[in-house]
Structure formats: structure tokens, C-alpha cells
Chain A
Amino acid sequence: MSARLNSIEPYRNVAPRGTVDFLLRLASRVQGRRFVHVSSTREGGGVAEILNRLVPIMRDIGIKTDWEVIEGDSDFYATTKAFHNALQGKEQVLTEAMLEHYLDVNRANAERLRPAGDLVLIHDPQPAAMIESRAPEGKWVWRCHIDLSTPQRRAWTFLRRFVVRYDAAIFSLPSFSQHLPIPQFLAYPSIDPLADKNRRMSAKEVRKILDRLGVPDDKPILLQVSRFDRFKDPIGVINAYKLVKGYHDVRLVLAGGAATDDPEVAQVLNEVREAAGRDPDICLLDLPANAHLAINALQRAATIVIQKSTREGFGLTVAEAMWKGKPVIGGAAGGITVQIVYGVTGYTVKSVEGCAFRIRYLLSNPQLMRRMGWAGREHVRENFLITRHLRDYLSLLVHLSR
């Protein structure tokens, strides 16, 4: 990562006016206090992605910030993966031995890391049981990044006994919160406008990447970026495209990761291929997890971005698309409803027909698309950039340590 991106200064050009000076001012108010993040990995996944940017920026503005990562064996990660799925509502088998091993690994990490600070932020369930070994000083907050709205009862009952020992918890949406005797705060996730996935790109660079991906830009592009998962409803998107195609000559691009060891993903991709048939205007792209520039270029080349999920965590691809000035049509699920301001930055829809109708409506109103694109970018600037995320964490530091 370049030194430039470890600094808050480049964000002056993208964050709302006055934000950077305000953050510096705020940081001077909490100067000398220590902020510790604890998570399960330094690479891969949304939490690591955001901490890789947030931690250097926090240090740059003068907050003593540490980022500790827990260690575990393959059994531990298999357990936390099952735990993660169970908390998100998938039925899983969690044996006593698995839970006991989870606790042992947490205890070993607590002993090794001994996190201590004015605010210790424990990210997600993997290190949550470290609270058992907390030092009496400082506040401990559990940051939950996952959708806890319908957890498997046994998994949540197990985790809850640790969560209630924290001073507070943070959730990404009110609907993800649970009945708890501790304060629960709300903090939306964020995107980094300077990261490869969102940075500015010239038209030439976009064209070059599209050429490499084999996506012609000779007609309006409808785009959905998400893994091939039933909850993202890729078949619904194809059906909506078919309802549009009789009225507008468009191309549909479905871009997502498929080459994983998850058999369900491979099965969904096969179904999607079958639904697409031999239509030359449907492009299916199987992108690697680090294809940030390709996603950036596709979102910039798109006319309308779709995120027709029927179930969604937060769905930051919506904010990514809006940051690039695109109107977004999304399923009314999870965080999509807080990102799309209905009729202002795009539309939320609840059916294939609703999706098709809004696509047709927007394609027939280019001026409206431009207005929505502008409004979407401003909405993201105010609410979903990393600078706002930093502001949330610093507010918590101020609030809990006063």
C-alpha cells in the first residue's frame, strides 16, 4: 500500500467538505487514547479490507491504534465457519467438542495478545469469547458485521453469553440486532473511494478492461455484481432482462465469483448458464476474488446496476455502483433499503416484474438516470465512505471513554 493511502489527506478530495478537518479536530480530542481492533484475519473478506485502510488512517490522525489478529488451527476455522453460517440462519451441526475447541483457541489468543486499550473492538464471532479474559481497564465493544436477524437458536445462545459481557455492541442494521442487556449501536459498513474497486478510472482504462473481459460496450449494459448464490437471484435478473429486451436493446452482464469449493455456488452457476441459453447479449463472468479493477470498470461501464437480492447482508455493491454515478435497482432486502433512497437514487423492487418495469422506466428516461446517478454519488459521499466509518468509531471512543 502506498504511503499516500496511509494518510487522511487524499480523502479531502472525495469526502464531504470539511470532513477531514473535522476528523483531525476530533482526533485531537481523543489524543493519547488507545484503540485496539481484534479480528480473525488480515487478508480477505470485508472486515480485513476495511481495517487495512482504517487502521493506517487512524494512526495518521494521531490515534494510537493496534490491530491484532487471532490464530487458530483448521478445526477452529471450520467451527467458526459453521458458527458463522448458523448465526446467519443456516442450520448447522455444532458439537460440544467444536464449541469447547472454539473456547480453547479464544483463551490461547487472549493469553497471547492481551488486548488492552481505552477501546477494544472485537470484530465478529471468531474472537468474541476473548471477553472472558478482559482486563478491567478500558471498554470492550463487540462489532458484529453479519446478519444476526434469524440466527440458529443454539448458536446464538452460546454466543450471547459472551456478548452480554461487553460494554456495548455495534450492528450494521437495526434489524440485525438482538435482545441484549447492553447498549447496541448502529454503524453502516463503508467503501473506500480510493481503493482499486472505487478509484477514478479514465474511459480509456475502462474500455481496455472491458476488452480484456470480452464485454462489448456497443449497447446499454445492465450489470449485477455478486457471487452466484440463490439469495442474489441471478435467474430473476435474467428473467427481468428478458422482459426488458423486447423494448430496449440491452446487454446483461452477471459478474461474480464461482470457482470456489462451494457445491451450491457451482450448481447455481449451471442453472444461470441454462437460463441464459445461447443469448449473445448475456455475459457471465467468473471473476477471481481480487478482480477489483475489473469490477470498477464494469460498474463504470454499466447503464443501470442491479442488485436483486432476496436476502442480503448489507450489500455494499450498491454503494459502489452509486459512487460511480449509476442508478441502482435493488431487491428490498437487508442494507439495500438504506442505501437506495426510493425514487431518488434508484428503486427497490420485490419481484422480477418490478425489476423489469423499473429498468424499462429508467432506460426511457436518461435525464432521470443522470439525476439519480448524481444523487446516489452524493448519498454515498455523506453516508457510506470510510471517512464516515472512522467518524462512527471515534464517536464511540469519545462516548464510551468520557
Chain B
Amino acid sequence: MRLPHLFGPATRPFTFVGCLELREILGRRARDARELMEELEQIPAASVYYHTHSIFLRHPRIAGAYPNDFANWVATQVRDQVLAERLAVVDPYMLGGVEELREELVSIVDSHISALNPVPRIVFGDPLSFVRSHLLEVPTGLEATTLPDFRRCLAEVDLSAVYLHTLHARVRGEVAGGDFAHWIGRELGRDSLAAAIGRINPYLGGLAEIRHETLRLIDAELEGDHGNHER
């Protein structure tokens, strides 16, 4: 076991960066599953991202029935429960990127509607309006060089920073388990803690849960340090 004194301050501090999402209405709408498929093929990647990824930024705690807009719209407006479930189970963070996700979604809808004849129109529901995300990064002014510092900053930082460093970091694809895990492993040398943080499932818990779980893991690590030190 590594001794606590080996976990000195990081050479490079962790800089917490938050983000703002500006939402642009594209003026494109889908009125049934076939139009959903056609629009999915054509909308900008930033719109696929808005309806599947950044939903976590808008709903850090409270999710609807399903964790993406397409599944929720199909369930509540199209009233096609089977298609909704098929769309809901796609985890955007397990796919290579937004384009791969787009292909997966198109393929699911295509395969589903090919078995429907005719494709039902919405009777009482509302169409889905497509929106595009513009993400603007804003430094929060919080920096950490040690694990206790990191914990303090994480506990108080705006949740948009949690989004940017965990979920959005996975979309950027530069670091597999997100920025937190990467920095803790690389700069603090706490590989097992980094691995545990990197394994937090981002898809099902929401941002508040990601923060809560990360803090819990750090607290356990710091308690371990304290125990080792006393012994």
C-alpha cells in the first residue's frame, strides 16, 4: 500500500471549468416516428447532442421516464412504448461519439418502423421541436492541488462543472473516465480512486448523483489516509 506522504500536491492543479448552454431552436419538427428518423439523419450533431447528452445539464437531478428527449417524446406523444424503450436503452456515453450515436438511433427507428404499416401519426400529442446546443465554457475560479482541496471545490462548484468534467469530457473523447478520474490518477497517483471515479455510471444517476458518489469515494480515500497515518 502506498503511504499517505507519497500523495503530495499535484504539479498541475485541477482547474474547475463550468459551462453555459445556449439553446437554439432549429425550427425543425417531427410529427411521427418516420419524421423522427428523417430528421435524425439531417439535424446538426449539436442537436443530437442536445437531445441526448446535455439533457443532464438541464435535469441534474430529475429525469423524466427516460434519459433522452427522443425516448420521452416517443413515449408521451407518439405513445409507442416499444420504440421508446428501445431508444431509452442507448447509452450515449458508451458509444464513440455523436455521429455513432446518431447512426444507432436512426437504425433503431428504421428497424422499428419497417415493421409498422402504416406508421401512426400523432393524434393528440405535440410534435418534437429540435433544438441545438451551444456550449460556452466559463472558468469557475476554483483550483485544487491536493485531494482535500479537490473535495472542497467539488462540493461547492456549480453543477455545470461536474457536467463538463465528467459527461462532456467523455464526448470530447480525450480521457476515458472523465477529467476528475484522469487528474486524480495522473497528478495525485491515486490510481484505484481514479478507477473507481471513472466507473461511476453517468447515464443513470444524473449530475447531483455523480457529485455525491465522487465525494463519497474521496471521503473514503481520505479516511483511509487518516487511518494509515494514525497507525
Q: Are B18 and A395 in contact (CB under 8 A)?
A: no
CB distance from B126 to the nearest CB of A (A): 7
Contacts of B21 in A (CB 8 A): 395
Per-residue A-contact encoding for B1-22, CB less than 8 Å = 1, 0 else: 0000000000000000010111
Pairwise interchain contact B158-A18, C-beta atoms closer than 8 A: yes
Q: Is A16 an interface residue (CB 8 A)?
A: yes
Asked if residues A379 and B62 are in contact (CB atoms below 8 Å), the reply is yes
Min C-beta distance of A351 to chain B, whole Å: 10
A1-32 vs B, Cβ < 8 Å mask (1 yes, 0 no): 00000000000000011110110011001000
Question: Residues of B within 8 Å of A, CB-based: how many?
Answer: 35
Report the separation of the CA atoms of residues A383 and B56 in the bound assembly, to the nearest whole angstrom.
Answer: 12
* Complex contact B62–A398 (CB within 8 A): no
| Interface positions of A from 357 to 389, Cβ below 8 Å from B | 375, 378-379, 382-383
Residues of B within 8 A of A175 (CB): 126-127, 129
Contact yes or no, A394 B23, CB < 8 A: no
Question: What residue of chain B has the Cβ atom nearest to residue A22's Cβ?
Answer: B158
Q: How far is the CA of A17 from the CA of B161 in the complex (A)?
A: 12
22 contacts between A and B (CB under 8 A): A16-B158, A16-B159, A17-B158, A21-B141, A21-B156, A25-B139, A25-B140, A29-B138, A175-B127, A177-B27, A178-B27, A184-B25, A185-B22, A337-B126, A341-B63, A342-B76, A343-B65, A344-B62, A382-B60, A382-B61, A395-B20, A398-B136
Q: Mark B55-71, 1 if CB is under 8 A from A, else 0.
A: 00011111111000000
Question: How many Å from the CB of A115 to the closest CB on chain B?
Answer: 22
Q: Whose C-beta in chain B lies nearest to the C-beta of A15?
A: B158
- Beyond the given A177-B25, A186-B24, A392-B22, please list 5 additional residue pairs across the A-B interface where CB-CB is below 8 A: A26-B20, A175-B126, A395-B21, A398-B20, A398-B138
**B134 CB within 8 Å of chain A:** yes
In whole angstroms, how far apart are the Cα atoms of A394 and B129 in the complex? 24
Contact bitstring B123-163, A, C-beta under 8 A = 1, else 0: 01011011100101011110000000000000011111100
For residue A183, CB closer than 8 A to chain B, the reply is yes
CA distance A392 to B160 in the complex (A): 13
B residues near A29, Cβ cutoff 8 Å:
138
Contact check, B23 vs A186: say whether CB atoms are below 8 A apart: yes
Instruction: Please determine whether A179 and B27 come into contact, CB atoms closer than 8 angstroms.
Output: yes
A303 interface hit (Cβ, 8 Å): no
Interface presence of A174 (CB below 8 A): yes
- CB < 8 Å neighbour of A22 from B27, B63, B160: B160
